[in-house]
Structure 1
């Protein structure tokens, strides 16, 4: 069985989405990671479909779009992360069509979208930490993650307001200044969510 069939038969899109940090509600709805989604508009189950931006596909399509990688790499990543065995013989793929080089406008739009998504994810993570690690008693020593949430939440709100309501010059300056920090922050968020999901940190708070 090749990697594509192995993944599709073993993992639903919902399982992969939750593994990679997407919060899904009981009605299988989640905030779409592929556009600035203020209200949950993506239905995630065996497949996924966003009623806002139209993104649609199976588990491999989801991982491919989420990480900006090819379908083959997405299938291999998912198989590796979920411990799925498969026939590792080379998979024949159709020749790729020539892809036009992205314009500066497209590159900036993607950078701005990524910046908003990462900062938004971090903001929601801080809100969760503030709730999960809040002291139960007045004389209790504050948890470092609770302190971080108190210190940084307001600043994140300010940055997100700029990305939503600011002038183009303000947005461009923010995206440029926070470019490297966003990449580092994205990795930290991913690692924390995966670690928290595996260990159950915060569930007992």
Structure 2
């Protein structure tokens, strides 16, 4: 079994993406690493397809694009990293075994996670800016509207830095934003949970009433 057959029979694109630090949601969506994607627009399963840039293919194609490798080298990298045996004498292959991530893979996972949380927070700020905008000049400014005005531009700057910054700049950004991202992730989770509960009961979320 040659390397292409061995890899394609044993590895899904989702397995390959997660191995190399791409965060994939439960429904198989991820931020596309092949274009400036601010919303998860790539679907990953056995194959992958991006609804933004139209990138498409199998696990070998994905790794080839991700590391800018020829197809054969990409297949060999997958086989080596996952412990898949192959040759031209039909030796049996072994089941894929996900090895302990390397420091570089761990960093890439952290970078993608940081970017994902900032994306979610940015979308929340956009929502708050519209939902809690004052309707009349006499309305008091809602705290969430104020937060949106204060944080949206800076959060967008951070997202642009992830997309356009050099590897060194992105590493520095991840190191600087680590604790803040943890706080944002907790806040997003609490807000999402509160929103779900209040939608289920028909009540308003806490702090959504405007004071006159």
TM range (shorter): 0.5 to 0.7
Q: Following TM superposition, by how much is the alpha carbon of 1:199 offset from its aligned partner in structure 2, in angstroms?
A: 1.3
* Deviation per residue, 1:81-105 (Å, 9 max, x gap): xxxxxxxxxxxxxxx9864221111
Q: What is the DSSP-based 3-state SS (H/G/I as helix, E as strand, rest coil) of the residue aligned with 1:51? A: strand
Which runs of no fewer than 5 residues in structure 2 stay unpaired? Answer: 1-24, 57-94
SS at match of 1:139: coil
Q: Whole-Å Cα distance in 1 between the matches of residues 127 and 28 of structure 2?
A: 16
Long gaps (5+) in structure 1: 1-21, 23-29, 55-95
Q: Provide the C-alpha distance between the structure 2 equivalents of 1:191 and 1:35, rounded to a whole number of angstroms.
A: 27
Match of 2:49 among 48, 51, 72: 51
Q: How does 1:7-18 map to 2 (within 5 A)?
A: none
| CA 190–35 in structure 1, closer or farther in 2 if over 3 Å, else same | farther
| CA-CA distance at 1:40 after TM superposition | 5.8
- SS in structure 1 of the partner of residue 29 of structure 2: coil
Q: How does 1:69-108 map to 2 (within 5 A)?
A: 99-108=98-107
Q: What's the Cα RMSD here?
A: 3.8
1:198 is displaced (CA, Å) by: 2.2
SS at match of 1:188: helix
Native 8 Å contact 2:134 2:141 kept in 1: yes
Aligned twin of 1:147: 146
- Structure 1 pair 165/196, CA: closer, same or farther in 2 (3 Å)? same
Relative distance call for 1:35 and 1:120 in structure 2 (3 A) is same
**Aligned pairs, how many?**
136
Q: Give 1:32 deviation, angstroms.
A: 2.7
What residue number does 2:29 align with? 32
Rounded Cα–Cα distance in structure 1 between residues aligned with 2:174 and 2:131 = 30
Q: Which moved more, 1:179-188 or 1:158-167?
A: 179-188
Determine the C-alpha separation between the residues in 2 that align with 1:168 and 1:146.
34
| 1:149 counterpart SS class | helix
Who wins on radius of gyration, i.e. which is larger? 2
TM-score, normalised via structure 2 length:
0.53
Q: Is 1:129 the counterpart of 2:142 in the alignment?
A: no
